[in-house]
Every structure is written in structure tokens, then in C-alpha cells.
Amino acid sequence: MRIARALGEPELLCWALNIQIFALRQGSPREPAEEILRIAEAAGLGEYRAVAHYSLYRAALCESDLRAAAEHAALALEDATDGQLQQILDALGLFSFEAAMLRGDLPAARRAFEERLTRLAQRGLADAAGVLLLGEVSLAWAKGIFPD
């Protein structure tokens, strides 16, 4: 980050902040995402506006703010470049699962998850088994099968 800040190159700084977001193991990506958004808007970097809005979508989910999550999801899609669009669509495709989980509607969460997993598997998702495991563990935890 120090080098990127010292060079003052907007695209390099956005890239470094994005790496910082993905290196976070806990907590919200809000602060670095808001910085990416400020830099990207000032420099006209649409692809990084998409990255920022996707990260702010994730931050809003961490905060259980479904309205803000939906707004940032829509903005991420608006700003996505051709190369980003499918990846963002895949990630946002689980929003209905995540929203149902946050509402505590486990039957709806299961339906949404199974529907999305089917679509991903049909497209040839390489790690469909890993996504399935993540969903099953999330549902089991929500049902109280796993202790906190």
C-alpha cells in the first residue's frame, strides 16, 4: 500500500486496495471499498467502480443491510466491464440465498441456494462441490446443528 500511495497512480492504488479487501479474513471491506470508489470516480475507472460497489455489497451484507446490499449490487452490474460481468453475476446470484439466511427463512434459503447451484453447475463451475459444501454448512449452522 505504501508504494501504491507514494506513486499516486489511481489504478495501482485501486488494485492494491482490492488485494487488501481479499486479504481480509474478518470484518467488513467497507473502508477500503469506499476508498476504491472515491479514487475510481475521480479517475474515471469504471471497472474499479464495479469492484468497489461489489465490495460495498459484501460490506452491507456483513452489516445485515439488505437495502444497501441490493443498491450496491445494481451499481456493480451497471459499472461492470465485459470481463467482470459474469463473475459479478455469479457472485450476486447467491443474494437471494444470503437474504433468506439473514431473514431466518431457511426453506427459502435452501430453495434459492439449490436453484443457483444448479445454474452454476450447468455452466461448468469448477468448484461446484465447494459451493455446495459452503451452502450446506451455512444452513446447518443456521439450524443450530453446529455450536457457535
DSSP code string of 44-82: T-HHHHHHHHHHHHHHHHHTT-HHHHHHHHHHHHHH--H
Structure confidence at residue 83 as a pLDDT band (50, 70, 90): confident
Secondary structure (3-state) at 143? coil
Selected residue with higher pLDDT from 27 and 137:
137
pLDDT (mean) for 18-23? 89
Quote the pTM value: 0.76
d(CA 122, CA 96): 19
